Structures are given as C-alpha cells and as structure tokens.
C-alpha cells in the first residue's frame, strides 16, 4: 500500500464521518474532508483531538454541497478512494417525500459521477439499516439480502436511504465501469460523543440519563458502536472481496430500550439515578403523543422488532464489533463528561460576563 493514498470523506463534521477520518489517519492515509462551509473546520479538528488525533498534516478540507453538482469535481480531484457518509439534511420544513428523496438520490449520483471522472478506485457508501429492514415484518434477523419494500409504512428518511443506495448500485452497473462500490448499512449508532452532533440512538441514552425518558417505549432494534462502523468502512475500502457487497453493521442481534437502561443502572451507580426502570405500555405513549410532539416521533416505531445479523461482515472482512455493554457505557460516560465540561464552560462564560458587566 502506498501509505499516502488520499481518501475523500464527505460530510466531514458528522458523527460517523469524524470516526472514519480518525481510522484513516491512524492507518497512514491522507484525508480530504468535505464541509458545506469551511468555517466548520475548527470544529472538526476539535472533534478529532477528542478522538486522539493531534497532527493534521495529512488532513485537508474542501467545500462541497450535496445540492450542488459542480462542487464535487474539485472535491474528488487527486483522491483514490471516496467514503461517502454525507446525507443531505432535508430543509427542516420538508413537506413532501421528495424533499427527502431527491436531495439524497442526487447527492449520491453527484458524488459517484465525480468519483468516476476522477478515476477513483472504490467508493464506500454509508447507507443505513433503513434501506434493509422496513416495509416488511420478519421473525428472523434481517441480512444483506433484504431490501426495504417501499410502501406506505416506510418513512421518508428510510425511503430516501433505500432509493439513494439503489441509485448507487444502478450507477455502478450502468456507468461505473472500472470503479468499485461497497456499502455499509449501520443500525442504531452508539459510541463516545465528540461534539454536539450525535445520532438519534445517543439522544435516547441522553434522555435516559437526564430523566427526560420516564419509562421505556417498547422498541427492539439493532445497535453498533461508531468506532466499529468506522472500522467496517475502512475494511470495506481496503479488502478486495468487499467490492460489490453491502454489509450490515450491528453488534449482536438487537436490544430493547429497557435492556439499555438496565445496563446503565447496573454499571453507573448514582449517575444512573434518573434512568427509567420499566417499559411503558404502547397505548399510553400513543395517548400522551396527542399532546407531546416528541412522543409523536416515537409512536410509529412502538412494538417494532427489528433484529439484524452482521455474520457477513464478521465472516468476509474479519470484522470484530465491541460488545453492546461496552458501547452503551462508553456512550454514557462520554455524554456525562461532555455535558459536565460544557456546563463548566457555560458557567465560566456566564461568570466572566457578569463580572465584565459590573
């Protein structure tokens, strides 16, 4: 391996992307990270420091936007690989499915076209379990052979992930001659937070710790540590056999929210004082959701059981995910530390400001 091959990582300020950058730098690659605005580069550097990276000699930043095709040719120039993590955040006033689906699909195609033109060897696409296990009910764990079936039960986000992943495979088949594609489909992502930007699954743990979640909704789904997701991206980029394959990232088969809260209470002592101890019947949550918009987001998932298997990644790529207990505790401890540090900073700023005012 030429130790200084260059990898473009898209959406460089995101949770998964920042850990992909850490994995690449630690393995001797140069990284070019895309940001919608270069103003975010200091934030990314502070996240990487939190993740143990102190030299930025092999890291550069480039401005690119998933809504703007012309920005990608410059971004991908001189890169041998692309890890495409960025997914467009649809405008917060997204009214229609198209507001989710079109930018996601176009974004993937813009990146794939630019990568092909630049002579990139392989693209690793971050898809999601959302492209695997929705629109269907299975009693056995989902595998890479499964695809979300697009019907009225599938939410726009999962629809956008399914359509954009299929667009990537179609591109490779029809226009990508000579370029390779591998896809990673993470389940719920946990792991140590590096900044304010963290996944929905981590929000659940945060709400358990701060007492916002009084009881656990009945939902069983798969989870994985962000460090293992990054490692799987790295393996999917570097191992020849990964070409043309998709890989589900999950540790174990699935956990309920109550399982997670039990791990927190068992290990964190007083810090877990506010963590819920019981499950809440689904009908109560549905009733409360009439008055509470946060709960309304949860209701479609109530009673859902989505188990998945990572047997393929373990067998083909020798992937070794951490135990869920280790990952849950790493998430919780980092949240506690991060929130404490933030609180101290806020108090210091407030104190300084008050004293400057007097």
304: left (phi over 0), alpha (psi -120 to 50) or beta: beta
Number of CB atoms found within 10 A of residue 51's CB: 19
Q: What does each C-alpha distance from 151 to 47, 57, 130 come to in angstroms?
A: 39, 48, 13
70 Cβ contact partners less than 8 Å away, ≥ 6 residues apart: none
Which position among 116, 161, 218, 306 bears the catalytic label?
161
Q: Is the pLDDT of residue 2 over 70?
A: no
The per-residue pLDDT for range 76-107, each reduced to its tens digit, is: 999 999 999 998 765 556 677 888 898 899 99
The owner of tokens 């629809």 is 159
Residue 214 annotated to the active site:
no
- How far apart (Å, rounded) are the C-alpha atoms in residues 146 and 64? 32
The per-residue pLDDT for range 113-152, each reduced to its tens digit, is: 999 999 999 999 999 999 999 999 888 999 999 999 999 8
At residue 41, the 3 state secondary structure works out as: helix
Burial 253-290 (b: 16+ CB within 10 A, else e): bbbbbbbbbbbbbeebeeebeebbeeebebeebeeebe
Q: Where are the beta strands (DSSP E) in 10-51?
A: 30-35
- 8-state DSSP, 279: B
Give the predicted TM-score (pTM) of the model: 0.92
The token pair that represents 324 in the structure block: 């869920």
- How far apart (Å, rounded) are the C-alpha atoms in residues 259 and 321? 18
- How far apart (Å, rounded) are the C-alpha atoms in residues 316 and 276? 39
- How far apart (Å, rounded) are the C-alpha atoms in residues 235 and 124? 10
- How far apart (Å, rounded) are the C-alpha atoms in residues 252 and 222? 7
The phi, psi pair for 201, rounded to 5°, reads -60, -35
Q: Is the pLDDT of residue 183 over 90?
A: yes
Q: Calculate the CA 334 to chain-centre distance.
A: 17
Of 4-18, 79-93, 299-313, 314-328, minimum mean pLDDT range: 79-93
Cβ–Cβ < 8 Å for 58, 45: no
Cβ–Cβ < 8 Å for 187, 250: yes
Which residue would you say has higher pLDDT here, 82 or 350? 82
| pLDDT of 1 | 47
Q: What is the mean pLDDT of residues 154-179?
A: 94
Radius of gyration of the chain (CA): 21
- How far apart (Å, rounded) are the C-alpha atoms in residues 143 and 43? 36
The per-residue pLDDT for range 252-294, each reduced to its tens digit, is: 888 999 999 999 999 999 999 999 999 988 888 889 888 887 7
The phi, psi pair for 28, rounded to 5°, reads 85, 20
The per-residue pLDDT of the chain, averaged, comes to 90
Q: What is the mean pLDDT of residues 209-225?
A: 92
First to last CA, the chain: 62
At residue 227, the 3 state secondary structure works out as: helix
Q: Where are the beta strands (DSSP E) in 51-121?
A: 59-63, 81-84
Q: What is the mean pLDDT of residues 193-209?
A: 85
- How far apart (Å, rounded) are the C-alpha atoms in residues 123 and 116? 9
Nearest alpha carbon to residue 104 among 51, 144, 46, 155? 155
Q: Calculate the CA 19 to chain-centre distance.
A: 10
- How far apart (Å, rounded) are the C-alpha atoms in residues 10 and 31? 10
Cβ–Cβ < 8 Å for 51, 89: no
Classify domain 6-199+223-254+308-322 at the CATH superfamily level.
NAD(P)-binding Rossmann-like Domain (3.40.50.720)
The per-residue pLDDT for range 223-235, each reduced to its tens digit, is: 999 999 999 999 9
Give me the percent of the chain exceeding a pLDDT of 70: 92
């Amino acid at each position: 391996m030429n130790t200084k091959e260059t990898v473009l990582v898209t959406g460089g300020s995101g949770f998964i992307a920042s850990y992909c950058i850490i994995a690449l730098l630690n393995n001797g690659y140069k990284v070019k990270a895309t940001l919608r605005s270069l103003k975010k580069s200091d934030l990314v550097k502070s996240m990487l420091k939190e993740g143990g990276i102190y030299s930025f000699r092999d890291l550069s930043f480039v401005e690119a936007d998933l809504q703007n095709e012309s920005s990608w040719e410059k971004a991908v120039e001189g890169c041998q690989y692309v890890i495409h993590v960025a997914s467009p955040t649809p405008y917060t006033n997204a009214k229609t499915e198209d507001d989710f689906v079109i930018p996601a699909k176009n974004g993937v195609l813009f990146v794939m076209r630019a990568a092909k033109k630049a002579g990139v060897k392989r693209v690793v696409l971050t898809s999601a379990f959302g492209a695997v296990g929705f629109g269907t009910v299975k009693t056995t764990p989902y595998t890479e052979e499964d695809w979300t079936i697009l019907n009225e039960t599938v939410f726009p986000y999962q629809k956008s992930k399914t359509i954009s992943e299929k667009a990537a495979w179609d591109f490779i088949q029809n226009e990508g001659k000579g370029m390779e594609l591998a896809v990673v489909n993470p389940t719920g992502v946990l792991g140590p937070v590096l900044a304010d930007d963290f996944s929905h699954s981590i929000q659940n743990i945060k709400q358990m710790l701060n007492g916002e979640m009084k009881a656990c909704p009945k939902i069983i789904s798969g989870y994985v540590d962000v460090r293992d997701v990054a490692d799987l991206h790295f393996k999917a980029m570097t191992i020849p056999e990964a070409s043309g394959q998709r890989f589900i990232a999950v540790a174990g088969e699935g956990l309920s929210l109550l399982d997670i809260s039990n791990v927190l209470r068992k290990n964190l002592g007083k810090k877990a004082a506010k963590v819920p101890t019981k499950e809440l019947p689904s009908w109560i949550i549905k009733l409360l959701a009439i008055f509470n918009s946060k709960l309304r987001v949860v209701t479609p998932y109530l009673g859902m059981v989505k188990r998945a298997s990572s047997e393929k990644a373990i067998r083909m790529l020798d992937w070794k995910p951490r135990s869920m207990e280790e990952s849950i505790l790493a998430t919780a401890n980092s949240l506690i530390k991060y929130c404490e540090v933030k609180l101290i900073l806020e108090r210091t700023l407030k104190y300084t400001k008050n004293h400057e005012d007097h």
